[in-house]
Amino acid sequence: MSVLTSSLLAGLNREHVWLEHGFGTRDALLNQDAMASLKQIHSNVSLAADRPGSAGEGDALVTRDAGLAVSVRTADCYPILLADPETHAVAAIHAGWRGTAAGVVRSTLARMQNEFGTDPQNVYAAIGPGIGHCCYGVGVEVARQFGMDRAGTLDLAVENRNQLIAAGLNPERIERVGGCTFCNPVQFFSWRRDHDPAGRMISFIRATAAR
Ligand SMILES: [Zn+2]
């Protein structure tokens, strides 16, 4: 088992190599020390990073600094990685139900647009492993945030995919990587299943060369 990657994002290196990324797994744990990171608060706050270490409180990091990796920690919440081949801007997003309901994907794309001139039509996205529709029962309070009128199951991968498309991404430039964290105890940590505060997987993305 190893770090998971998106064939779509990897394909952006076809003409020249400029992008690295990965979704860490249970037995392929990545280290955040040399990466920009966040104190995650389940919000829609996105921050621009210009150095390794904590950039502050929020749930998405964007950068156009070549060499700097932006990263998030997850275990059921979804890690989402974005790359803009036109500007070499990248983003790492932490999206649980609160962040998804608050539109963290939308606010991240807006920040990339404001800071770097990113056009969402140029952006590629990879949605990593998270708790699937199969295992994510929610009560009526959470269900209401997503337009349902009673308790049921929630598909955060689809919710975030729809938000990416609504923000202007081409559906063909969005890839789902890995499966349900709850269903796959060998491969993934799951907060809902394990209640293990130490069990978090690191996902990252980095431009290795400036545009
Ligand atoms: Zn499942």
SS3 annotation, 77-108? CEEEEEEECCCCEEEEEEECHHHHHHCHHHHH
pTM check: above 0.85: yes
Which CATH number is 61's domain given?
Answer: 3.60.140.10
* Average pLDDT, rounded, for the chain: 96
Q: How far is the CA of 180 from the centre of ligand 1 (A)?
A: 5
Q: Measure 76 CA to ligand 1 centroid, in angstroms.
A: 10
Average pLDDT rounded to a whole number, residues 147-165: 97
In a domain, 66, yes or no: yes
Token pair, residue 150, equals: 């009673």
Domain encompassing residue 106: 7-207
| 113 pLDDT more than 90 | yes
Domain annotation covers residue 177:
yes
**Given pLDDT bands bounded at 50, 70 and 90, which one contains residue 1?**
low
- Report if residue 193 sits inside a domain: yes
| CA 183–ligand 1 middle distance (angstroms) | 4
Domain contains 85: yes
Ligand 1 centroid, distance to 144 Cα (angstroms): 22
Residue 139 belongs to a domain: yes
Q: What is the pLDDT of residue 145?
A: 95
Please check whether residue 203 lies inside any domain of the structure: yes
How many Å apart are CA 103 and CA 27, to the nearest integer?
31
The total of structural domains in the chain comes to: 1
Distance from Cα 63 to the centre of ligand 1, integer Å: 32
Share of the chain above pLDDT 70, in %: 100
Assign residue 157 a region (left: φ > 0; alpha: ψ between -120 and 50; beta: otherwise): alpha
DSSP state, residue 122: G
The residues whose Cβ lies within 5 A of ligand 1, an ion, are 132, 134-135, 180, 182-183
> 3-class SS at 203?
strand
Would you say residue 1 lies in a domain? Answer: no
Question: Could you report the per-residue pLDDT of 57-78, keeping only the tens digit for each?
Answer: 999 999 999 999 999 999 999 9
Supply the pLDDT for residue 11. Answer: 98
User: Is 2 within the bounds of a domain?
Assistant: no
Q: Give Cα 20 distance to the centre of its chain.
A: 14
Q: How far is the CA of 136 from the centre of ligand 1 (A)?
A: 7
**Intra-chain end-to-end CA distance of the chain, in Å:** 33
pLDDT tens for 83-96 read 999 999 999 999 99
